[in-house]
Structure 1
Amino acid sequence: MKNRIQQYINIESLSGILLFSGMILALCISNSSLYDIYLNLINLPISITVGDFGLHKPLIKWTNDGLMAIFFLTITLEAKYHFLEGEFTSRENLKLPIIGAFGGAIVPAIVYYFINGDDSLQAKGWAIPIATDTAFILGILSFFSTKIPLTLRLFVVALSIIDDIIAVMVLAIFYTASINYIPLLIAVLILLLLTVINLLKVSKLSIYLVLGIGLWLSLVEAGVHGTLAGVLLGAFIPLRVKELDQKASSPLKRLEHSLHPFVALIILPIFAFLNCEVAFKELSIPDFYSSITLGIIAGLFIGKPLGIMGFSFTAIKMGLCRLPCDISWRIYGAINVLCGIGFTFSLFIGTLSFEDKTYTNQMELGVILGSLFSAFMGTMLLRKALKTSHFGTENHSVSS
């Protein structure tokens, strides 16, 4: 179990470094003589045609609709494993991450909406600051590897997974375009078929993957964002096999083990590189203090830690959960600030929120600045907290 967890953390840490590199590279190219080549690359038209059926999208859309569906599939597989068989099978271990994640989603959304609620178009970005980028946070924690208890890393993983589940639900409910009902009916039929083969404990992954591709195509044609297919497919892939076939390995574990490095080390850095197109020459001074930019910065940098800490403190005071014995309040507070690194997921939600180029630029600026502020401040606070904390000796109770 510990080897599996450590492998997960190592991959996520490296992914965080690659993500940051992809972002910096994109920003450098966007503000150089290579900008036009970069624009041509992200808008490169790619078509897949079978008979009369065809999908025609630019490269950035294939990345956001297609590759990110694989990302969501992996998140769902990881969540399913951790909650059904991993270290979070105990309800007691899940209480604090669940409560913290809900606080970290609700308060940033309120903060953003408070700043942008007067404009219906700008208000569409309310979900942008609810996200947390696990890879970036674990990348930062890797620099403190000898001082960070495993409990803290596990808490970050748990909170991030729950945070991602909340964000996925928000995408499915609030960011779905107009519906085409015939493809949607086909998607429902595929889901019924997935239900049947799941109940039969079919362990052949190729069957699930073929049906998953069909589900993705159906949802895209129906007008539902294709990433939802990844979530739904992951929910149906079985963790356990038939009793008569105990020698076979878990389909879920096999697929997650194969996908996780691919997603963390290739898909997410590609996503960061293609979605961080911010040409500073196109920005004006007002863009830096626009409602969208300030709303996202405030949501990530202030709302996120305030929500997690506020909900957690209240829950602990009420006796609903407790702080792990080897995590001090100072360290917990620093981690709450680091959770304001929304980057990948925030950018993704932002691409669904705005179509206007001005709004998109302000959104990207807000996500980048809010995430960088959170990363810098969280790192400084964590460094200071680790110097003064003695794991297991600080009183974690909250007096009434």
Structure 2
Amino acid sequence: MARKHTLAFLKTEAGSGAVLGFAALAALIVANSPWSADYFAWLKSVHAVQIGPLRLEETISDWIKEGLMAVFFLIVGLEIKYEVLKGELSNPKKLALPILAALGGMAVPGLVYLAVAGTLGGPTQGWPIPLATDIAFALAVFAMVGRSLPASLRVFLLTLAIVDDLGAIALIAILFSQGVQWVPLLAALGVIAVFAVLGRRRMAAAFWVLGFAAVWYLTVLSGLSTSLTAVAFALIVPVDPRRETSQSPLKDAMHDLHPYVAYLVLPLFAFAKAGVSFAGLSLEQAFAPLVVAIALGLFIGKQIGVFGVAWLAVKLGLGDKPSGAGWMQLYGVSLLCGIGFTMSLFIGVLAFPGAVDSVEQIEVKLGVIGGSLLSGLAAAVILSLADAAQKKRRHLKSVASAE
């Protein structure tokens, strides 16, 4: 049952990669077209939502970042809980290698960034940007070039990316949630506690929606990143079916929300954050210290951190390679982890707050896009070679069996 759920998740995430790519490409085209001014003006435009006495005013960019992306983090939290309790992460042996590899994939990129930024005189606060892995884009590339590769590699990549996302969420909470207003935050925690108790009983989906909306609103008022409370709310959603029904509230929520997140929320975020105007862009800015530090952190740091720690863990007996996978295949997956697009852009917005067309935001986008493209292209080449080698071995084996 867990395997069926995982493969369904992979299929949806891989399929959404094409939509993500189109949205990112569309953002780049629009940002460099006659509609460029309208695009950036739209992102900066302020819009209010009012329900009775409750009113919030945010820019389109902030509505996407703090509003729609909260739903993304809710899905991440649901995935983490399900995998830990019912899925691949419930097996300690399967859990060890991707967790260790994910830790390496978070530590080394940060060190590479700091080393490059220190050498070139770049800002140090951007070190968390290359730590993240974009699940959808990574799985999309894998699906395109690795059809004959072991399914265990897909599970390894998904597990690693989930742990990676958890680490990124923790960093967001620790580093980018200053100036917290405690009264609304305590109220949000109170709502979570109440729903944790009520969740033991059968509750209609509408009540969960209202509970999440209340927690989100209070979190915005508190000044805390909505990502943290979204994950916290996900962790109280029951994973086991209620006695009165065979349906699991957690699986129902994932099933209902996942397509919207994969095909609407993430592409819209990509469209809002990937747009960078190349008008007046000099060669000096294209290779600015911030750009180079992020790109090398993703491309060099990720592959060294993930593959290096995975290799060391296997040699020390701390974990096992994915079943049926070779080192070349594992290296290709390690390269895929350098695709940090969505989450890296999100952290970049938090690390360098300001206008979407500010110098820092442009350089963040250039670095993330450059590092992700390098990682994706290199991974596609390596995995294609590994896929071809796997097919050749299977062909030779079938010929030998026939003889």
Query: TM-score, normalized by length of structure 2?
Result: 0.92
Partner of 1:314: 312
Deviations 1:37-87 (A, max 9, x none): 212222232101245542111111111101000000001111211221123
What letter matches 1:166 in structure 2? G
| 2:226 paired with 1:193 | no
Q: For 2:8, what is the secondary structure of its paired residue?
A: helix
Which residue matches 1:276?
Answer: 274
Secondary structure of 2:144 counterpart:
helix
Distance 1:335 1:226, change over 3 A: same
Distance 2:121 2:127 in 1: 11
Task: Report whether the alignment pairs 1:235 with 2:235.
Answer: yes
* C-alpha separation in 1, matches of 2:179 and 2:280: 32
Question: How far apart are the structure 2 equivalents of 1:331 and 1:276?
Answer: 30
Q: Cα RMSD (Å) of the superposition?
A: 1.9
| Shift in CA distance, 12/274, structure 1 to aligned 2, threshold 3 Å | same
- Superposed displacement of residue 117, structure 1: 4.7
Equivalent runs, 1:116-155 vs 2, <5 Å: 116-117=117-118, 122-144=123-145, 146-155=147-156
Are the structure 2 counterparts of residues 195 and 121 from structure 1 closer, same or farther at C-alpha, using a change threshold of 3 Å?
A: farther
Is the 8 Å Cα contact of residues 66 and 227 (structure 1) preserved in structure 2? no
- Partner residue of 1:396? none
Matched residues in 1 for 2:141 and 2:297: separation?
21
Aligned to 2:214: 214
Quote the Cα distance in structure 1 between the aligned partners of 2:40 and 2:308: 42
Q: Structure 2 CA distance, aligned partners of 1:216 and 1:77?
A: 16
Structure 2 stretches of 5 or more lacking a match? Answer: 397-403
Residue 373 of structure 2 corresponds to which residue in structure 1? 372
Q: Which 4+ residue blocks in structure 1 deviate beyond 4 angstroms? A: 117-121
Secondary structure of the residue that 2:328 maps to in structure 1?
helix
Change over 3 Å in CA distance of 1:120–1:177 after alignment to 2: farther
SS of the aligned residue for 1:88 comes to helix
Residues of 2 paired with 1:162 and 1:201: CA distance?
Answer: 30
Matches within 5 A, 1:1-400: 1=1, 2-117=3-118, 122-144=123-145, 146-198=147-199, 200-242=200-242, 244-245=243-244, 247-355=245-353, 357-389=358-390, 390=393
Displacement of 1:7 in angstroms is 2.3
Contact 1:298 1:370 in 2 (8 A): yes
- Tell me, yes or no, if the aligned pair for 1:183 and 1:221 is still in contact at 8 Å: yes
Query: Relative to 1, partners in 2 of residues 1:90 and 1:254: Cα closer, same or farther, differing over 3 Å?
Result: same
> Is residue 46–residue 58 contact of structure 1 (8 Å, CA) maintained in 2?
yes
CA gap 1:3/1:33 in 2 versus in 1, 3 angstroms: same
Given that 1:141 and 1:148 are in contact with CA atoms closer than 8 Å, whether structure 2 keeps it comes out as no
State the aligned residue count. Answer: 389
In the aligned structure 2, how far is the partner of 1:146 from the partner of 1:365? 31
